[in-house]
Amino acid sequence: MSVQREWPAVTAGLDGRIYAFGGSGGPGAEYLASAEVYDPAANAWTPIAPMPTARFGASAATVPGGRIVVTGGI
Protein backbone atom coordinates (compact mmCIF):
# COMPACT_ATOMS: atom_id res chain seq x y z
CA MET A 1 0.00 0.00 0.00
CA SER A 2 1.09 3.54 -0.58
CA VAL A 3 -0.36 4.64 2.80
CA GLN A 4 0.10 2.81 6.11
CA ARG A 5 -3.31 1.51 7.21
CA GLU A 6 -4.33 -0.26 10.39
CA TRP A 7 -7.81 -1.83 10.37
CA PRO A 8 -8.90 -0.67 6.90
CA ALA A 9 -12.10 -1.87 5.25
CA VAL A 10 -11.07 -4.18 2.39
CA THR A 11 -12.99 -5.99 -0.34
CA ALA A 12 -12.39 -7.60 -3.72
CA GLY A 13 -14.08 -5.86 -6.63
CA LEU A 14 -15.79 -7.64 -9.49
CA ASP A 15 -12.89 -6.42 -11.63
CA GLY A 16 -10.43 -8.65 -9.73
CA ARG A 17 -8.78 -5.75 -7.92
CA ILE A 18 -8.55 -5.27 -4.13
CA TYR A 19 -9.96 -2.08 -2.60
CA ALA A 20 -8.85 -0.64 0.77
CA PHE A 21 -10.68 2.19 2.55
CA GLY A 22 -9.83 4.25 5.62
CA GLY A 23 -8.25 2.76 8.70
CA SER A 24 -5.69 4.49 10.86
CA GLY A 25 -2.23 5.71 9.95
CA GLY A 26 -0.74 3.91 12.96
CA PRO A 27 -0.80 4.04 16.75
CA GLY A 28 -2.07 7.44 17.88
CA ALA A 29 -2.65 8.63 14.31
CA GLU A 30 -5.88 10.11 13.01
CA TYR A 31 -8.43 8.03 11.14
CA LEU A 32 -8.20 8.05 7.33
CA ALA A 33 -10.72 8.90 4.62
CA SER A 34 -8.33 7.98 1.83
CA ALA A 35 -8.75 4.87 -0.32
CA GLU A 36 -6.67 2.91 -2.79
CA VAL A 37 -6.91 -0.06 -5.13
CA TYR A 38 -4.47 -2.90 -5.73
CA ASP A 39 -4.16 -4.26 -9.26
CA PRO A 40 -2.57 -7.73 -9.13
CA ALA A 41 -1.78 -7.66 -12.87
CA ALA A 42 0.33 -4.51 -12.40
CA ASN A 43 1.41 -5.40 -8.83
CA ALA A 44 0.67 -1.79 -7.86
CA TRP A 45 -1.49 0.27 -5.50
CA THR A 46 -3.21 3.39 -6.88
CA PRO A 47 -5.04 6.10 -4.89
CA ILE A 48 -8.76 6.47 -5.64
CA ALA A 49 -11.38 9.00 -4.52
CA PRO A 50 -11.52 9.30 -0.72
CA MET A 51 -14.57 8.56 1.39
CA PRO A 52 -16.54 11.60 2.58
CA THR A 53 -15.86 10.61 6.21
CA ALA A 54 -12.77 9.07 7.80
CA ARG A 55 -13.42 5.57 9.21
CA PHE A 56 -11.53 3.07 11.35
CA GLY A 57 -12.62 -0.55 11.77
CA ALA A 58 -15.34 -0.36 9.11
CA SER A 59 -16.47 -3.17 6.79
CA ALA A 60 -16.58 -3.20 3.00
CA ALA A 61 -18.58 -5.37 0.62
CA THR A 62 -19.06 -5.60 -3.12
CA VAL A 63 -22.77 -5.74 -3.89
CA PRO A 64 -24.57 -6.94 -7.05
CA GLY A 65 -23.78 -4.62 -9.92
CA GLY A 66 -20.23 -4.09 -8.67
CA ARG A 67 -20.79 -1.13 -6.34
CA ILE A 68 -18.65 -1.19 -3.19
CA VAL A 69 -20.27 -0.24 0.11
CA VAL A 70 -18.34 0.75 3.25
CA THR A 71 -20.32 0.67 6.50
CA GLY A 72 -19.80 0.99 10.23
CA GLY A 73 -16.59 1.71 11.99
CA ILE A 74 -15.66 4.62 14.16
Over residues 8-36, the pLDDT tens digits come to: 999 999 999 999 999 998 888 899 999 99
Backbone angles phi, psi at 7, to 5 degrees: 55, 50
- Which DSSP symbol is given to 66? S
- What's the domain count of the chain? 1
Give the pLDDT of residue 64.
94
Which residues form the domain of 40? Answer: 9-58
Residue 58 burial by Cβ neighbours in a 10 Å radius (0-12, 13-18, 19+)? buried
Is residue 54 a part of any domain in this protein? yes
Tell me the pLDDT tens digit for each residue of 46-74: 999 999 999 999 999 999 999 999 999 99
Q: How confident is the model at residue 16, as a pLDDT?
A: 96
Q: Residue 47 domain-assigned?
A: yes
